[in-house]
Structure 1
Amino acid sequence: MTIKRIIASLIYAVLAAIYLYGYKMLNLIIDEFDSSFSMISVTGILLPFGLAVGGMVIVSSCFRSVRMKSAFIGLSLLLFLTPVLYSVSKLTANESQAVNPLRQAELAKRFKEALRGGTDGAPISMASVAPFDWDRLIVFGPYVSPSEVNGKLGYTWTRSSFLNSNETDYTILFVNNGKVVQSLYFAGSVDPAILGTFWPNDVKLAVDNQQGTFRLPHLKKYKEEKESDPG
């Protein structure tokens, strides 16, 4: 019986290490995709916990002493619950910072319509494209790191390295009272002068389809377009 208990304990220790490592990888995935609560994320968190509890019940049957069995179950539950609660806290934080997906889709639609409807050099007012409360707009270019984004915002909004992962990816964040209230993803190219922070009345862009990359639109500041006009 002692040998059986030792073997069971060794197997349990190995499985516990795999369990903790699995949650470490799960948390990296949560960070990478800025995951919030969904059927997939909740299942991914609870399924390993359920399997671990089942294994705990099986191993606990090896203990004849009620005191030893109770101590084993208590310590095991503490071990198993710690990474679960940590993962849930990450999902909760991401959920609180996530933008409204329906409003985001409407914003993207309005922006695309403004790009399609405007002629080359015509002004695009972001205050009209985004008719909600915001006091600051920040444009980030390709390959921006999460630390750069969070540093500009002043708080941790994202941990994803996939935010702008190729040369045509741009992110436009709408900020109100220090918090991101909406985000817009733009595929194309922009003048370097646009990369930065703007206020509602100062944000007027112009589209230039002649300079677009891979037939995607090119954005520049409307003021620059007017200033460069010799007439």
Structure 2
Amino acid sequence: MKVRLSIRGCRIIALLALAAGILFYYRSYFFFDVYIDITRAGPGPFSVGAVLLSFGAAVALTWGLLYLGRLKRHGWTALLMLAVLAAPPVYTGAKLLANGATAPDPGFSLALHEAFTALHREAVAGGTAVTVDFRKMSGGRPWERMLIFGPYSSGEQVNKALGFQWTQEDFFTSHERDYRILFVQGDRVVGELGFDGLIRSAPSEYKPGEAVFELTNKPDPYGAGDHPTVFELSPARTGETS
């Protein structure tokens, strides 16, 4: 009798531990899902690994419930439990694929960043205004619209300006010097560039022939220590139009 009670007690403890594991599983998935929404992450080693790990956890939890609940022979019960527990990683996997299909071209974004960094150095070294022609910086990659979003822009404002749903971030830009420049072709964001400084025309939209600016490195009245200057980007006085 004592042995039977001991086995039953162990089974109850194991079921309680399994229930706690299921709660932790769903809670962890919630934070991972929020991370994907904020970062717009697509398929990658970390994200795919997390999805596969979650699916493996769903299988393990299903087996544990069936074994401890003595439901091993009920096939439909097993399928139902697995479907409920595996739904989060399957949904997340679909979201990763969708994000990957709509993500900016990483090669385009990298080329923009490298070209812009070179112009930064030129502005600092020369001490004069440097012309920034975003169409030339694109390296022949096509885009129809360039949109600039200033500090504290919300995801809702970004989606409204784009004309389609692209981001779920609450705060697309986070501080008073945080600007994001998006390059749009049709209904897809094909390139993205971050800018830490001041842009005199944000938020604004430009066609390729209009996206000509001047980059200057000026003393920052609010700067101190390691940041005595600030980069300023403003539309060129004259520029090619199309």
Q: Smaller-chain TM-score range?
A: 0.7 to 0.9
Amino acid paired to 2:63: V
Residue 42 of structure 1 is matched in structure 2 by 48
CA 1:150–1:56 in structure 2 vs 1: closer, same or farther (change >3 Å)? Answer: same
| Structure 2 residue aligned with 1:178 | 187
Q: Which residue of 2 aligns with 1:158?
A: 167
Give % identity.
28
- Specify the alignment match of 2:236 in structure 1: 222
Partner of 1:114: 119
C-alpha change, 1:144 and 1:65, in structure 2 (3 Å) is closer
Q: More deviation in 158-167 or 130-139?
A: 158-167
* 2:22 is the alignment partner of 1:22: no
Is the contact between residue 184 and residue 190 of structure 2 (CA under 8 Å) also seen in structure 1?
A: yes
CA positional deviation for 1:143: 1.8
Q: Which residue of 2 aligns with 1:229?
A: none
CA contact (8 A) 1:189 1:217 kept: yes
- Counterpart CA distance in 2 for 1:14 and 1:71 is 24
Partner of residue 228, structure 1: none
Q: 1:211 to 1:149 in 2, by over 3 A?
A: farther
Q: Contact 1:169 / 1:187 at 8 angstroms: preserved in 2?
A: yes
Match of 1:92 among 90, 97, 102: 97
Contact 1:194-1:220 at 8 Å conserved across structures: no
**For the residues of structure 2 that align with 1:181 and 1:23, how far apart are their CA atoms?**
29
- Matched letter for residue 204 of structure 1: V
CA distance in 1, matches of 2:70, 2:158: 56
Kept after mapping to 2: 8 A contact 1:211/1:218: no
What stretches of structure 1 of length at least 5 have no aligned partner?
226-231
Shift of 1:95: 0.6
Q: Identify unmatched segments of 5+ residues in structure 2.
A: none
The total of aligned residue pairs comes to: 223
Relative to total residues, which structure has the larger helix share, 1 or 2?
A: 1
How big is the shift at 1:194?
Answer: 4.0
Rounded Cα–Cα distance in structure 2 between residues aligned with 1:173 and 1:165: 16
In the superposition, relative to structure 1, how do residues 221 and 60 fare at CA in structure 2: closer, same or farther (>3 Å)?
same
Inter-CA distance 52–194: structure 2 relative to 1 (3 Å threshold):
closer
For the aligned residue pairs, the C-alpha RMSD in angstroms reads: 2.7
- TM-score (normalizing by structure 1): 0.83
2:204 equivalent to 1:196: yes
CA distance in 2, matches of 1:64, 1:122: 74
